[in-house]
Amino acid sequence: MSTSTPAPPLPVIIIGTGLAALVAAFELSALSIPTLLLDQESRASLGGQAFWSLGGLFCVNSTEQRRMGIVDSRALALRDWLSSARFDRPVEDKWPRRWAEAFVDFAADEMEAYVKARGLGFLVNVGWAERGDGRADGHGNSVPRFHVAWGTGPEVVRVFREPVEEAEKRGVVEMRFRHVVDEVLVEGGRAVGVRGRVLEEDGVARGVKSSRVEVGRFELRGAAVLVASGGIGGDVEKVKKVWPVDRLGPAVPKNFVVGVPAHVDGRGIDIAEAAGANVINRDRMWHYTEGLRNWDPIWPGHGIRVLPAPSSLWLDATGKRLPPFLFPGCDTLATLKHICSTGHDYTWFVTDQSIVAREFALSGSEQNPDVTGKSVWQVLWQRVLASKGTVPVQNFVKHGHDFVVRGTLEELVAAMNEHAAEMDPAAPQLDYAQVKEVVDARDDQFNNSYSKDAQAMLVHSARTYWPDRRSRIAPPHRLQDTKKHGPLMAVRMNLLTRKTLGGIETNLKSQVMRADGTVFPGLYAAGEAAGFGGGGVHGYSSLEGTFLGGCIFSGRAAGRAMAEEVLDPKALQTGSHALRAAELALAAALRLLVHPSYQIVFSRIVPGMSPPHPQSCRRSQGTGDTKRYPVRDENLHCFWQLPWDACCRPRRTTGSSPAAATALPQMPRHWRQEKVPWEQENLHCFWQSDWEGRRELTPRVTRAEDGASPEVAGAAAAGPNRAAMAKVVKRIFAGEVVVVLVGVEGDWECGGLKVQKSLTGRVEGDI
Main-chain dihedrals φ then ψ at residue 552, nearest 5 degrees: -65, -45
Residues 738, 657 within the same domain: yes
Residue 125 has pLDDT above 80, yes or no: yes
Residue 517: CB atoms within 10 Å:
12
Asked if residue 573 belongs to a domain, the reply is: no
pLDDT at 385: 81
Residues 582, 705 within the same domain: yes
- Per-residue burial over 242-273, b if 16 or more Cβ lie within 10 Å, else e, is bbeeeebeeeebeebbbbbbbbbbbbbbebbb
Residue 734 has pLDDT above 50, yes or no: no
Per the structure, the count of domains in the chain is 3
Angle, helices 409-423/432-446, rounded to nearest 10 degrees = 130
How far is C-alpha 171 from the chain's CA centre? 29
Closest by CA position to 81, among listed 55, 101, 109, 106: 101
pLDDT at 567: 83
Instruction: Give 56's strand partners.
Output: 148
Asked if residue 6 belongs to a domain, the reply is: no
The mean per-residue pLDDT over the stretch 468-481 comes to 96
Residues 328, 318 within the same domain: yes
The mean per-residue pLDDT over the stretch 142-160 comes to 98
For residues 718 and 228, the model is more confident at: 228
Residues 89, 190 within the same domain: yes
Helix H or strand E segment including 467: helix 466-471
Least confident of 307-311, 322-326, 449-453, 593-597: 593-597
pLDDT at 86: 98
> Are the CB atoms for 228 and 526 separated by under 8 Å?
yes
> Which of 462, 495, 528 is where one domain is finished?
495
Q: Is there a cis peptide before residue 103, judged by omega within 30 degrees of 0?
A: no
The mean per-residue pLDDT over the stretch 337-354 comes to 98
Residues 225, 308 within the same domain: no
Asked if residue 699 belongs to a domain, the reply is: yes
pLDDT at 8: 77
The 10s digit of each residue's pLDDT in 70-98 is 999 999 999 999 999 999 999 999 999 99
Residue 203: CB atoms within 10 Å:
10
CA torsion sign, 509 to 512 to 517 to 518? negative
> Are the CB atoms for 649 and 617 separated by under 8 Å?
yes
- The span from the CA of 415 to the CA of 437, in Å, is 18
Residues 666, 528 within the same domain: no
pLDDT at 330: 98
Closest by CA position to 95, among listed 478, 510, 476: 510
Residues 487, 511 within the same domain: no
Residues 486, 523 within the same domain: no
The pLDDT confidence band at residue 279, using thresholds 50, 70 and 90, is: very high
pLDDT at 514: 99
The 10s digit of each residue's pLDDT in 398-437 is 999 999 999 999 999 999 999 999 999 999 999 999 999 9
The mean per-residue pLDDT over the stretch 318-336 comes to 98
> Are the CB atoms for 15 and 228 separated by under 8 Å?
yes
pLDDT at 590: 37
The pLDDT confidence band at residue 9, using thresholds 50, 70 and 90, is: confident
> Which of 440, 462, 495 is where one domain is finished?
495
The pLDDT confidence band at residue 340, using thresholds 50, 70 and 90, is: very high
Could you tell me what percent of the chain has a pLDDT over 90?
71
| CA distances in angstroms from 360 to 325, 329, 332, 352, 397, listed in the order given | 19, 11, 16, 11, 11
CA torsion sign, 265 to 268 to 271 to 277? negative
What is the distance in angstroms between the CA of the first residue and the CA of the last residue of the chain?
Answer: 37
Q: Which domain holds residue 676?
A: 578-766
> Which of 455, 472, 495 is where one domain is finished?
495
Asked if residue 546 belongs to a domain, the reply is: yes
| SS3 label, residue 185 | strand
Asked if residue 238 belongs to a domain, the reply is: no
DSSP 279-325: EE-TT-EEEEEEEEE-SS-SSTTBEEEEEE-TTSEEEETTSPBPPTT
> Are the CB atoms for 51 and 108 separated by under 8 Å?
no
Least confident of 280-294, 309-323, 379-393: 379-393
The 10s digit of each residue's pLDDT in 749-762 is 333 333 333 222 22
The 10s digit of each residue's pLDDT in 164-220 is 999 999 999 999 999 999 999 999 999 999 999 999 999 999 999 999 999 999 999
| SS3 label, residue 123 | coil
> Are the CB atoms for 697 and 725 separated by under 8 Å?
yes
Closest by CA position to 379, among listed 388, 368, 387: 368
Residue 162 has pLDDT above 60, yes or no: yes
Residue 227 has pLDDT above 50, yes or no: yes
- The span from the CA of 493 to the CA of 289, in Å, is 6
> Are the CB atoms for 255 and 494 separated by under 8 Å?
yes
- The span from the CA of 675 to the CA of 712, in Å, is 16
Residues 557, 658 within the same domain: no
Contacts of 550 (CB under 8 A, 6+ apart): 103, 527, 528, 532, 533, 537, 538
Asked if residue 456 belongs to a domain, the reply is: yes
The mean per-residue pLDDT over the stretch 524-545 comes to 99
Asked if residue 222 belongs to a domain, the reply is: yes
The pLDDT confidence band at residue 384, using thresholds 50, 70 and 90, is: confident
> Are the CB atoms for 28 and 168 separated by under 8 Å?
no
Asked if residue 393 belongs to a domain, the reply is: yes
Residue 713 has pLDDT above 60, yes or no: no
Residues 642, 705 within the same domain: yes
Q: Is there a cis peptide before residue 250, judged by omega within 30 degrees of 0?
A: yes
For residues 664 and 575, the model is more confident at: 575
| SS3 label, residue 70 | coil
Could you tell me what percent of the chain has a pLDDT over 70?
73
Q: Is there a cis peptide before residue 643, judged by omega within 30 degrees of 0?
A: yes
The 10s digit of each residue's pLDDT in 485-529 is 999 999 999 999 999 999 999 999 999 999 999 999 999 999 999
Q: What is the mean pLDDT of the chain?
A: 80
Residues 505, 641 within the same domain: no
Residue 558 has pLDDT above 50, yes or no: yes
DSSP 569-591: HHHHHHSTTHHHHHHHHHHHHTT
pLDDT at 543: 98
Q: Which H, E and C letters describe 362-417, residue by residue?
A: ECCCCCCHHHHCCCHHHHHHHHHHCCCCCHHHHHHHHHCCCEEEECCHHHHHHHHH
The mean per-residue pLDDT over the stretch 98-126 comes to 96
Residues 383, 278 within the same domain: no
Residue 646 has pLDDT above 70, yes or no: no
Burial group, residue 642, by CB count within 10 angstroms (0-12, 13-18, 19+)? buried
Length of the chain: 767
